[in-house]
Structure 1
Amino acid sequence: MADEMVQRAQRFINVTYGNGATLGISKLEENGRTGWTVMYALTRALQYEMGISSLSNSFGPGTLAALGEKYGKVDETTVPSANFCRIIQSALYCKGYDGGDIDGTYNSRVKASVAQLNANMGVSGTYPGTSLWPKVIKGLFNMDAYVTVNDGSDVVRSIQQWLNGRYVLRKDYYVIPCDGHHSRDVAKSMLLAIQYELGMADGVANGAFGPGTQAGLKSHTLSTGASGVWVQLFTAAMVLNKRPVSFSATYTSALASSVSTFQSFMKLAANGQADFPTWSSLLVSYGDQSRQGGACDGVTKITPARAQALKAAGYSIVGRYLYNPSTTDLPEKEIQPGELETIKAAGLRCFPIYQTWARSVDYYSVAQGVTDCMNAAFKAEEHGFKPGARIYFAVDYDAVNDEVTSHILPYFKSVRDTMVRLGSPYKIGVYGPRNACSRVSAQGYAETSFVSDMSSGFSGNLGYAMPENWAFDQIVTKWVGSGDGRIEIDNNIVSGRDPGQGDFYPTPAQKMDTGFDLSLRASLLKEVKDYMASIGKPGGTGRIYTLDECMDTILSHDAAITSASRRYRMRKALIQTTAFWEFCHYSYKDVGEDASVVMYHTGVIPDWGKDLPIVENLVDSSTGVAKISGRTCILSRNNSIRAGLLEGDILDPTSNADRWAMWQKVNQDNVFNLSTVPHLHIWAADGKQGDHAETPIRRPALDYTDAEVFQVLRRYQGWGDLAEAHAQERMPLYAIFEKFNRVVRGG
């Protein structure tokens, strides 16, 4: 909303300084809205009025020193000129205070606003009265707020005011915002406060978590009964890390209990004391870097010797990369052949990471999310990760909050949506700074966070609490082992939310199928239509969908079918043949049965079934693309869950509620329906437990023989002469799909 007085301030700058030319800037837009452009112009105008020759947007040490040397403080007795005063008045309006009439007079209205500004900053005890001191002027000429904004916390604001009031006279301490939000400036100010209380002189205290600060903190362990400024600093750090405590000078038993909870959350010794590891975790993202992690990640191949070195050093989980687009840089970054077997043999576990570039905001887009998710899932399947593994997609740069909103969240939504379209073979995690991890997770786009806390200077780490769903906390790079076992790794603290995987599919000897080349669609469709016509099934009479529609449905879900085939090491043609054949045979009778199922479970005939001639109560029906019933869906998925191939709850195939729940999924969700087909094939090969028992055969594999393909296709439909006959008819269809898949995969 436009503010008349801000507009007058903009007009004052334009009129007085030649539409900005005198200040080396463009003419200000007189829109009545404050912002950095206006504050920069006012800063330059102030410098100009002080006689500073080199004007800058930055209110730096030179400007601050000049103010102190020339005026000491600014008030009605020292303000050097009317324009200087108008600049002050304009800045007050841009900060939301009354600046008078911008008439060049340091009058009672200006004085009242200055007094209020000092109080809001928390420095009125240090700077009583109505004068503006240099550090307050510096704080006036920026976009910091000194009242709570955007649902800021009053407790956090009181801490910010306390810090300002206690330390503003120190040389390197500047007024921080009092807006009720933790931030980079607040985090640095907390470290300066710690250093000042440790007795560090101006010029020595620098806001860095160095050896001197660490040594000092080790001698300031606090426990129940302690009191004073150190308790204030500690409780402030707890509040800023979103722990439910009071900002207080007394270490109470309630505080000790909250400290224990925080320590448990961060996987520290839960002793309830403000010890060095706890201080460290509150003040810097990486915490106490001497902590031994239970997990590590790196870009180096895990050989048997390195695996043993890692295990001997206390590591049980290893993070490795699924893909490396470079053929020369970091040649061992991608998981190497046989490496997962080595990890398993050593008794270690592994979690997969996906990162190609991901080091600038320009990388992230919806389209990139689709590409990355598909490539990550296919690579995970290729390397042998089983369903349910969590892939960590990387945000490996300092993503500021606006970039998280504009780029990172849409990217992860795209990753999530694409994973769903693939049939949800893998879970999604996020690697990155705290803010990115927390925001991505809060939107439901990632289940757990792998936090890049080692990058303590990232704005996405400074001033942000640890994500509630953190799985791995990356805190330091180190070397482990010696000789052939020597390896450089990133040391990660483990929360237990992600155990990684300890068992993997073996690397296949044959090529796995990949995405279909749509330029081959016409040729594929012609061969399929010619074959279907040759067996008297050209589509049409009594069928709901044409052969073209059936083929387009199968191809439109190619990603999910491809992912399932790779995940379970079966030929894609096995899924395509079954789904296409069943969909081609979807008839009006099937529609009537579907309507009957809806009526049985809801008591209402659905709109699409009201005109059908016969709709009567029916518990279950074969429905959806691949004509799967709720019962067979449950039986097949139960079989895969028991075999460790699928995550989920065991359901009761005799329960109407369970059958209805599954029927709705296979009826309404094509991806779920098609992703169930491989489980039906696996269940059929395993002997169809719970149904018409069959002799178990080898599970579907990339090297399945024609005899095995026939058996699985036949078992999908049932048993008896009709099932045998239909399986014979589907074998040439399988051969056609396999022919085109072989062309695409190259052998």
Structure 2
Amino acid sequence: MADEMVRRAQRFVNDVYGSRIGMTVEEDGLTKWEVMYALTRALQSELGISPVSNSFGPTTLATLTARYPKLNFGTMPSADFCRIIQSALYCKGYDGDGINGAYGPRVQAAVTKLKEDMGVGTVFPGSDLTPKVFKGLLTMDAYVPVGSGSATVREIQQWLNGRYIGRRDFFVIPCDGHHSRDVAKSVLFAIQYELGMADGTANGVFGPGTQAGLKQHTVSLGSTGIWVWLFSAALALNKRPVDFTGTFDSSVGSAVRAFQSFAKLAVTGDGDFATWASLLISYGDQTRGGEACDGVTKITDARAATLKAQGIKYVGRYLTALSTSTLPEKPIQPGELQTIAANGLRCFPIYQTVGRDADSFKYAAGRAAGDAAVNAAQHHGFKNGTRIFFAVDFDALDGEVTSNVLPHFKGIVDSLAVLGNPYLVGVYGPRNVCSRVAAAGYSTASFVSDMSSGFSGNLGYALPEDWAYDQIVTRTIGSGDGRIDVDVDIASGRDTGQNSFDPPRDVVPDTRLATDLYPALELDVGKYMESIGFPNNGGTRNFTHWKCLQTTVWDHDDVITELSNRYSMRKSLIQASAYWEMRHWDAADDAVDLLVEGYHNRPPGVPPPANVPRDSSTGIAQIFGVTAIRAWNHCIAKGVATGTIRDTADDDDVYAAWRQVKDEDYALRTVAMIHIWGADGKPGGQNSPDGETVLRPIAWDYTDWEIFQILRRYQGWGAEAEEHAGKRMVLYQILENYNSISRHR
């Protein structure tokens, strides 16, 4: 809700400092980081710091400390300086006395209350505004309970501030009742200070010195003092039902045993090093052995023996890979699952594509991932009921989880539901990702990427309640033929993988699409296209969903099957490209086609009208005449097609090709030519600004990445082509599911 005093603060910083600090803020009455950044820049301007920045960093703090170690009525340098403070107070929800430029009684009371809420009122008594408090004032941190904030957590936050604010590298942390990255790091600082580390040595990192020190500070029943205070704080921050206390009593012991059992630690009831480590850092004690592992290396008999000797029971392996040259053994290899089972191990499957940033995650991509994972799992022989862990392998911020990751998993769930839920959905990722996907109802168990301890989604978040595997360290184990690199995973028992598999599907040519699959295919494609804004009745486009499917899939199935077998090209590549383009055909395309007809059929000797095109994307596959010429010329020269070489500079040749691609049969053949041309990098064409890389020849075992590239190259390059290729990937995977059923009957 907009606040009028915040709006006045925004107006003040814009009017007085906008031209001096290089930014203005929207005057909407809403507190946000942009406002705090502007106030920080205004403060730097008053201190004479240049250039100004959004960061209240060491230079700002040192300059402020040197000039104004205590800001009060007598030391306030100017009215505008005071207005910066008053504006920040209003943004924090405190009384700024009308932003009148005077450090009067109301402002003094507000600053006193602010320090009390921070927990530093005893350290900094009175109404003086000290530099570290000023730094905390210019953040979005809250110092009062927020939402469902825990009173115990807030007590811990205030205690940490009050006890350690005097140390050089310790700054005010939020006191909102919620665990966070800053709070987690502050606990590590506190431990290092109590271990006797000097300023400059203490760094908030769980390093060798901190670990060695904690090994000397086991706490147990009857212990009292600072180490119990810190240990109970760590328990509470990990959502254990315990009071913040300095006495290790029976209730603390019960909480410890429950946590140890939950985290699969030795249940001793003591605050030993392994328990400290699991409470303080996501990966915990990395010397632990795990009953599970995952890796990018094929499991052979010798490697299986190594794993068993290490006590490993469950092995995570990847269903697919982006490339056949990089990490060639990353995807499950032929015969590997049988080797795993024969050696008494069990396998849990992981599905991962690019997934390294938020843009890779959206609803359409989730639909594609669901279909692709099912196809791959069935290809390898995983039986129904297996849990597939879908990877989110990047540091997703909480807002990105909301905007990208959750819709992506909704797409996965929807995809599997359409297919009859043959597999369970699991999630691999940081703690916050796993917990939120589970809370949304989109996963049944979590595989936690806890090795990435610095991820914002790990530090400050508790281990998810539904965790199945907890990835803690990479190790090289074994020797000779049994040597293997693995990520060691702790197993909770919620998932145990599989040790019995159906016979793997061979990579075989496509066949005609079974007619009994038509109704289900029509339904699934229609549902997907409607989900991305294409109504089945065609809407503003020329053709209905049914007409497009009939034309590009059913009526020409013989031609598409022939092309597929001739070029080892999955039928779905041809079908997806043609169907997608036909669904986009609209009146604007018809209008441009008429102009092209006019260009080529003008009276002899009449020059072409200005700005009238000689070419356009036309026909069911929306192909330019020039594109058809380039693709066919390439394939004819390569020896994979026959025909006459044409000249893209010759109007008659362009018109002849343009008219040919209006024929449905020829258009579908041209789609195949364009795909072959695209895989070869589009030589002789108008490539992307950086040029198109040459892919391996099109094959039935193309990876997801290669398929994406072919679909994207059909359209061109740039943001729109990337976006459409992502959506066409879903279409491809739906079509591939039904083509796969047909060819494996």
Measured at CA, do residues 33 and 304 of structure 1 come closer, stay the same or move farther in structure 2, by a change above 3 Å?
A: same
Report Cα offsets for 1:99-120 as digits up to 9, x if no partner: 1121211100010000000000
Aligned with 1:310 (options 303, 307, 312): 307
Q: CA deviation at 1:744?
A: 6.9
Give the structure 2 partner of residue 568 of structure 1.
none
Give, in whole Å, the separation in 1 of the partners of 2:172 and 2:378. Answer: 54
Letter in 2 for 1:363: S
**How far apart, in 2, do the equivalents of 1:742 and 1:253 lie?**
60
CA contact (8 A) 1:295 1:492 kept: yes
2:90 to 90, 93, 96: 93
Paired residue for 2:178? 181
2:466 alignment partner AA: N
In structure 1, give the amino acid aligned to 2:4.
E
Match of 2:107 among 86, 105, 110: 110
Q: CA deviation at 1:2?
A: 2.1
**Residues 334-483 of structure 1: pairs in structure 2 closer than 5 A:** 334-483=331-480
Q: Deviations over 1:241-263 (max 9, x none)?
A: 00001111110011101100110
Match of 2:201, as an amino acid? V
SS in structure 2 of the partner of residue 101 of structure 1: helix
- Partner amino acid, structure 1, of 2:63: A
Q: 2: distance between equivalents of 1:521 and 1:340?
A: 33
Which one-letter code corresponds to 2:365 in the other structure? Q
Q: Distance in 1 between matches of 2:403 and 2:191?
A: 36
- 1:55 to partner: Cα distance: 0.5
Aligned 8 A contact 1:186 1:463 in 2: yes
1:512, 1:399 → 2: CA distance?
Answer: 40
CA distance in 2, matches of 1:3, 1:513: 64
Q: Which residue type is aligned with residue 5 of structure 1?
A: M
Q: Give the alignment partner of residue 248 of structure 1, picking from 228, 245, 250.
A: 245
Helix, strand or coil at the partner of 2:40: helix
Identity %: 62
Runs of 4+ aligned residues of structure 1 deviating over 3 Å after TM superposition are 508-518, 740-747
Shift of 1:432: 0.3
TM-score normalized by structure 2?
A: 0.69
Give the distance between the partners of 1:446 and 1:514, measured in 2 at CA.
35
Residue 342 of structure 1 and its aligned partner are, at CA, apart by 0.9
Q: CA deviation at 1:153?
A: 1.0
2:266 aligned residue: 269
Please, which of 1, 18, 21 is the counterpart of residue 19 of structure 2? 21
Tell me how far 1:515 sits from its aligned partner.
10
1:487 aligns with 2:484: yes
What is the rounded CA distance, in whole Å, between the counterparts of 1:515 and 1:216 in structure 2? 69
Deviation at 1:418, TM superposition (A): 1.3
1:54 positional shift: 1.5
Corresponding position of 1:83: 80
Aligned to 1:291: 288
Deviation at 1:28, TM superposition (A): 2.5
- Looking at structure 2, the residues matched to 742 and 94 of structure 1 have their Cα atoms a distance apart, in angstroms, of 59
Distance of 1:509 and 1:432 partners within structure 2? 32
Asked which structure has the greater CA Rg, the reply is: 1
1:434/1:451 contact within 8 Å kept: yes
C-alpha displacement of 1:21: 1.6
CA offset at residue 293 of structure 1? Answer: 0.4
AA matched with 2:11: R
User: Match for residue 192 of structure 2?
Assistant: 195
In structure 2, what residue type is equivalent to 1:154? A
* Aligned 8 A contact 2:9 2:87 in 1: yes
Instruction: Report 1:165-176 matches (<5 A).
Output: 165-176=162-173
Work out whether residues 505 and 744 of structure 2, in 8 Å CA contact, stay in contact via their aligned partners in 1: no
Contact 1:67 1:73 in 2 (8 A): no
Question: How many angstroms does 1:6 deviate by?
Answer: 1.4
Tell me: CA distance 1:397–1:516, structure 2 relative to 1, closer, same or farther (3 Å): farther
1:3 and 2:3 equivalent?
A: yes
> How far apart in 2 are the matches of 1:138 and 1:521?
65
Deviations 1:383-439 (Å, cap 9, x if unpaired)? 111111110000100111111111111111111121121111111110000111011
- How far apart in 1 are the matches of 2:206 and 2:512? 50
For residue 98 of structure 2, give the secondary structure of its aligned residue in structure 1.
Answer: coil
Q: How far 1:521 moved relative to its partner? A: 6.5
Paired with 1:111 and 1:62, the residues of 2 have a C-alpha distance of 26
Distance 1:320 1:407, change over 3 A: same
SS at match of 2:71: coil
Secondary structure of the residue aligned to 2:253 is helix
What amino acid is the match of 2:478?
G
Does residue 325 of the first structure (1) align with residue 325 of the second (2)?
Answer: no
- Distance apart, 1:72 and its partner CA: 1.2
Give CA deviations for 1:508-540 in whole Å, capped at 9, x if unaligned.
45749899599x979x99xxxxxxxxxxxxxxx
- Tell me the residue number matched to 1:725: none
Give the stretch that moved more between structures: 236-245 or 72-81.
72-81
1:304: how far off? 1.3
Q: CA deviation at 1:442?
A: 1.4
Q: d(CA) in 2 for partners of 1:81 and 1:510?
A: 78
* 1:506, distance to aligned residue in structure 2 (A): 2.3
Task: Supply the distance in 1 between the matched residues of 2:250 and 2:447 (Cα, whole angstroms).
Answer: 33
CA pair 24-227 structure 1, distance change in 2 beyond 3 A: same
Q: In 2, distance between residues paired with 1:245 and 1:95?
A: 30
Q: Is the 8 A contact 2:449 2:471 kept in 1?
A: yes
Name the CA shift for 1:71/1:337 in 2 (closer, same or farther; >3 Å). Answer: same
- 2:735 maps to what in 1? none
Q: CA deviation at 1:208?
A: 0.2
Shift of 1:507: 2.5
Measure the CA separation in 2 of the matches of 1:369 and 1:461.
23
* SS of residue matched to 2:384: coil
**In structure 2, what is the Cα distance between the partners aligned to 1:21 and 1:212?**
48
Residues 207-242 of structure 1 deviation map (CA, whole Å, 9 limit, x = unaligned)? 000000000000100011111111111111111000
- Amino acid of the residue matched to residue 248 of structure 1? T
* 2:158–2:175 contact (8 Å) kept in structure 1: yes
Query: CA–CA distance in 1 between the matches of 2:230 and 2:510?
Result: 60
Kindly provide the amino acid, as one letter, of the partner of residue 9 in structure 2: A
Structure 1 vs Structure 2 CA RMSD = 2.5
Secondary structure of residue in 2 paired with 1:471: strand
Q: Aligned equivalents of 2:150 and 2:511: distance in 1? A: 52
Q: Secondary structure at the match of 1:352?
A: strand
- Could you tell me how far apart the structure 2 residues matched to 1:175 and 1:151 are? 21
Matched, 1:237 2:249: no
Instruction: State the shift of 1:16 in Å.
Output: 1.6
Give the direction of change, closer, same or farther, for the CA distance of 1:512–1:126 in structure 2 (3 Å limit).
farther
The equivalences for 1:309-708 within 5 A come to: 309-508=306-505, 511=508, 516=513
Q: Which amino acid aligns with 1:284?
A: I
Does the residue aligned with 1:37 lie in a helix, a strand or coil? Answer: helix
Distance 1:455 1:22 in 2: 41
CA contact (8 A) 2:351 2:373 kept: yes
- Output the amino acid matched with 1:128: P
Deviations 1:81-101 (A, max 9, x none): 111111111111111111112
1:415, 1:380 → 2: CA distance? 14
Q: Residues 447 and 745 (structure 1 numbering): CA distance in 2 closer, same or farther, change over 3 Å?
A: same
Q: CA deviation at 1:151?
A: 1.6
Aligned to 2:196, what secondary structure does the other structure show? coil
- Structure 1 residues 386 and 134: CA distance shift in structure 2, 3 A: same
Cα distance in 2 between the residues matched to 1:513 and 1:73: 79
The correspondence of residues 117-196 of structure 1 with structure 2, limited to 5 A, is 117-196=114-193
Q: TM-score, normalised by structure 1?
A: 0.69
Can you list the C-alpha shifts for 1:610-666, whole angstroms capped at 9, x where unaligned?
A: xxxxxxxxxxxxxxxxxxxxxxxxxxxxxxxxxxxxxxxxxxxxxxxxxxxxxxxxx
* Unmatched runs of 5 consecutive residues or more in structure 2: 523-545, 555-737
* SS of aligned partner of 2:233: helix
